[in-house]
Structure 1
């Protein structure tokens, strides 16, 4: 197929493009920034283009002559992410319908089993975008993923940083909710399955084989990093306060952190009977192995970090040479990030 990947330079997109090439597809790699063909190894099967999903003319041009669209655009780093993501979804859905594109795959988020008026703004927006895109073509699928495990993944990096920074960590009681993480390599497999003519359709949940509480996920991250941490219950801790504290204690973009923290109040697990199963029949990657790969320096698989990942997710090589304990190194990294942010 000829596949248009919208958000090709983001975390999942930067790993999906080479995955699609390995499986014989041609790719139109679209991002909101100026195209950099060298980012994808100058492969002549990749057309790198600029496309703002809220611009109808750009979208119309990008969608022309493709067999499938993979939609990976999210705007959590903005305060108006809900409005922007709605406009982007409507623009792309209209172009897909007008062009008669056969397949549309959207990487959505797991939706907790609660009334919609109790959903966080982040999950409510994902659900709204999902419904818009599913109405564009009969061959549309929304893959609902929770925490995606891999170096450079926003949700994983926030959890990893929090899990390794403090020796003693207060954990709000409402964070005992369950989560079903999924390795990024399995996300890529699910997208590939969704592009098949006989692949899944509609809203499909995407999760790995392990269901854990958030503190246990933090424990796995700490253990795989060889760190021992003490976690104490914090009965009184509003989500707004926790969001602010987490944003200050990590290098992640402020609005992204606060939006994601609001989603931790409910169980984020797959629905029985509505969960993706690999067409190949192969097993899903377990949580501990996925985290181990993500924390292995220079790991070459999808869970490994890339030079193109956001700067806030990457370490500082010179800092690794300084003989500091893990907490001290994490604190120094955070301080240097804050200084660089102030200096522009």
Structure 2
């Protein structure tokens, strides 16, 4: 199958490209700027091309001879992400409808079981893009995933950095909602299944085997780092304040952090009867195993950090060899990233 991956340089895309190649597919890796295969460690057989999803001409050119499309484009680090993502989805949907593409897979997010008026701007935007792409008339699947577990994953890194930074961790009482995280390895498997299984259609939830509360996810990250941390309830703390504080004490992009925090009020779990089950029957990766992989510097699978991941998500090698307490190392890492950000401006 000839597959076009839109958003190939992102966290999931950079790992999906070699995965598809290993499965025997022909892969076209596209991004808003031409990807550098050497930077991502991709096989020379990968064809890299520039494709801004808001440019109809560029999208039509990229779709020529393509059998399937994987849509991984998200603009959460921009203040205008809702408008930008809507425009991109509309352009791609129209171009796909006029092409010979047979399958379209979009990586969306889990949608809480609440009235749409109560959804965060982030989830509302994902749902809007999902509906646009599912309306193309081709075999389309929206895979709704929650927190993706793996070093370099934005949502995972935010939780992990907080879990290692503070010895005593205040947890707002409204963060007791449930979450069903999924290892990036399983996300890759779900995408491949959606591409190859024509019986899959519509919105399909993707989650791991563990349903836990956010404080328990923080605890798993602390244990993965070999640390003991105390979490205490914090009452009457507004979402906006938590978002601002989290953005200040983590290295992830500011707008991304504040947008994601808004989604923590609701349970983010899979719907019974609408959840992906691996076609090959192999078990899903557990939370503890995914965190272990992400924390093990010798591990080189999808959950490991890649040199192509954003600078804010990568460790500073010098800090790993200097004997420092975990919290001191976390503070030093944050300070170094802040300095690097200032130098880049």
Q: Counterpart of 2:216?
A: 216
Is the 1:186–1:285 Cα contact (8 Å) retained in structure 2? Answer: yes
State how far apart, in whole Å, the 2-side matches of 1:267 and 1:20 are. Answer: 32
Contact 2:9–2:35, Cα closer than 8 Å, also in 1: no
SS of residue in 2 equivalent to 1:276: coil
Q: 1:197 to 1:217 in 2, by over 3 A?
A: closer
Per-residue deviation, residues 238-271 of structure 1 (Å, max 9, x unmatched): 0100000000000000000000000000000000
User: Which structure 2 residues correspond to residues 1-344 of structure 1 after superposition, within 5 A?
Assistant: 1-39=1-39, 41=41, 43-344=43-344
Q: Mark the CA change 1:207 to 1:100 in structure 2 (over 3 Å): closer, same or farther.
A: same
Rounded to whole Å, the distance in 1 between the matches of 2:65 and 2:210 is 40
Instruction: Summarize the Cα distance change of 1:177–1:291 in structure 2 as closer, same or farther, 3 Å threshold.
Output: same
What's the CA shift for 1:224? 1.3
Alpha carbons 2:37, 2:44 under 8 Å: kept? no
Deviation at 1:197, TM superposition (A): 4.2
Q: What is the CA distance between 1:343 and its match in structure 2?
A: 1.5
Deviation of 1:8 (Å): 0.5
> Are the equivalent residues in 2 in contact too, given 1:103–1:137 (CA < 8 A)?
no
Are the equivalent residues in 1 in contact too, given 2:312–2:337 (CA < 8 A)? yes
**Cα displacement (A) at 1:319:** 1.7
Indicate the SS of the match to 2:196: coil
Query: Gaps (5+ residues) in structure 1?
Result: none
- CA offset at residue 41 of structure 1? 4.3
Output the CA distance in 2 between the equivalents of 1:275 and 1:96: 26
User: 3-state SS of the aligned residue for 1:127?
Assistant: helix
Runs of 4+ aligned residues of structure 1 deviating over 3 Å after TM superposition are 39-42
Contact 1:97 1:137 in 2 (8 A): yes
Distance 1:141 1:157 in 2: 27
TM-score (norm. length: structure 1): 0.98
CA RMSD, 1 decimal: 1.0
Note if contact 2:247-2:253 (Cα within 8 Å) is conserved in structure 1.
yes
**What's the offset of the Cα at 1:324?**
1.2
Task: Indicate the SS of the match to 1:170.
Answer: strand
Q: Tell me how far apart the structure 1 counterparts of residues 42 and 275 of structure 2 sit (CA, whole Å).
A: 36
8 Å Cα contact 2:67-2:102 kept in structure 1? yes
1:198 CA displacement: 3.0
What's the TM-score, normalizing by structure 2? 0.98
Question: By how many angstroms is 1:42 displaced?
Answer: 5.8
Deviations 1:90-117 (A, max 9, x none): 0100110000310000000000000000
Give structure 2 stretches of 5+ with no counterpart: none
Cα deviation 1:307-338 (Å, max 9, x = unaligned): 00011011101122222100000001101111
- Secondary structure of the equivalent of 1:99? coil
Q: Is the 8 A contact 1:101 1:137 kept in 2?
A: no
**Aligned-partner SS, 1:195:** helix
Distance (Å, rounded) in 1 between the aligned partners of 2:199 and 2:283: 18
User: Could you tell me whether the CA contact under 8 Å between 1:102 and 1:137 is conserved in 2?
Assistant: no
